[in-house]
Amino acid sequence: MISAPSALLFTAAGLGAFHGLNPAMGWLFAVALGLYAHSRRVALLSLVPIALGHALSVALVLAGALTLGSFIGHNTLARCCGALLIAWGVWRLWRGHRGRPTVGMRTSLAGLALWSFLMSSAHGAGLMLMPALLPFCSGALTAQATGDAFVAGALALGVHTAAMLAVIAAISLITMTLHERTGLGFLRTGWLNVDRIWNVALIACGAFLFV
């Protein structure tokens, strides 16, 4: 049984932290639920369904890609994933916020898990991890090599989710503290357009796969 290379784990952790910065990945919901209940405990509790929904979305993408990678060659899979990432990023940049449903910020924990799953899937969160896992996909793998690839994917997913949770928890607690002192007006003026950065990152990951 192999152990995942440190480069893979660092990449997974870095992408997890980046995902955690995106409000669509859940911290905005955590803050809303915490403020409504006047409880930091509720905000932290909401991280559980956020993590489960995100992890399930990413796991499905990774499982599908690793399975496909056990049958086709590394270069072919890399180009296919690269084209998909670039197309997804360009489409999201062009589409913007058009057609996105308006939802309330109060929901159950089960609803929050579903929302996290849908947002992670719609944002292509799992696809971002593919460049790091491609070394384990070389086509015509033995049963042992295929098992090793899935172990590496599971470790990367665990590290990725933990890093995302740590960032979401920190942002949620900091935001609630700032709200108590200054209100939430700073979110309209002091927060970056993470959605645009996210889409550019999708395209960059896709371009990397062609190199």
pLDDT tens figures, 74-116:
677 778 888 888 888 888 778 765 545 444 455 677 888 888 8
CA angle 98, 103, 109 (to 5 degrees): 135
The domain locations on the chain are 6-210
Longest dimension (CA), the chain: 59
Cβ-Cβ contacts under 8 Å for 111 (sequence gap 6 or more):
none
Determine contact, residues 166/19, Cβ cutoff 8 Å. Answer: no
Does the structure show a pLDDT above 90 at 170? yes
Global confidence as pTM = 0.77
Determine contact, residues 92/199, Cβ cutoff 8 Å. Answer: yes
The tens digit of pLDDT for each residue in 4-42 reads 577 788 888 998 998 888 887 888 888 888 888 888 888
